[in-house]
Amino acid sequence: MSDVRATHAPRLTLLRGADLVASPWKNGGGVTREIAAESAPWLADELAHDVTFAWRVSVADVAQAGPFSRFAGVDRTLVLLEGAGMLLDERDAMGLTTHALTRALDVARFDGATPIDARLVDGATRDFNLMVRRDVASGTLDIWREAGSHRVPAQTDTVLLYGAQGVMRARIAGGDWIALETGDMLRIDCAQAAEIETQGEGALLAITLNVQRHSTKAP
């Protein structure tokens, strides 16, 4: 990890994909590499809830079919990065819904508490995973392709730019250009209303995040 400091807000941190550590799943079905997370220490005494992060982003290599872990109170977004893809069977009170991720950068959004069974189309896949605990945070994910200029919404806490394809460059608030290879991520804190310019012929996943930084419990 290396820090890239601007002379003024926003604050930038560059995370290289080559530095991420793989954690094998207990069931042997794949590995996860956590990229970044926002802890929520004020949730530590809420014993009824087993999710103590406000948000988390990671990359997973899925080697075999099987059920997803369930996370109550969490909104999940998956993006297919590599491989032939997978079909996610979501079962709820309304019946069965299948999310098809069969092309690079296909996106699926679902409630983390809902039972999900994954079927691989043709071999292992790699996907990007955004998890947001909805009672303390909110987040959006968009895909930015090629060159462009983007204005971050006011009141935004953090923006994450993940290199999903090719080599892209990003410049924040007129600063220096930062190269993002596939698998790299630029974290932009204090990102309120910043202007982000991009160059290149690849694609970035752009995630905007806001966190409620106090206890949700009644006094």
> CB of 134 within 8 A of CB of 55?
no
Residue 75 within any structural domain of the chain: yes
Which residues constitute the domain of residue 12?
A: 2-211
Residue 187 within any structural domain of the chain: yes
Residue 166 within any structural domain of the chain: yes
Rounded CA separation 202/166 (Å): 4
- What is the per-residue pLDDT across 18-47, written as a single tens digit (0 to 9) for each? 999 999 987 777 899 999 999 876 665 554
| pTM confidence score | 0.89
81: domain CATH number is 2.60.120.10
Residue 218 within any structural domain of the chain: no
Count the domains in the chain.
Answer: 1
Residue 12 within any structural domain of the chain: yes
Q: How confident is the model at residue 52 (pLDDT cuts 50, 70, 90)?
A: confident
Residue 216 within any structural domain of the chain: no
Residue 168 within any structural domain of the chain: yes
Residue 99 within any structural domain of the chain: yes
Residue 120, classified by CB atoms within 10 Å of its CB into exposed (0-12), middle (13-18) or buried (19+), is middle
- What is the per-residue pLDDT across 167-195, written as a single tens digit (0 to 9) for each? 999 999 899 999 999 999 999 998 888 89
CA-based max dimension of the chain: 53
- What is the per-residue pLDDT across 66-76, written as a single tens digit (0 to 9) for each? 998 889 999 99
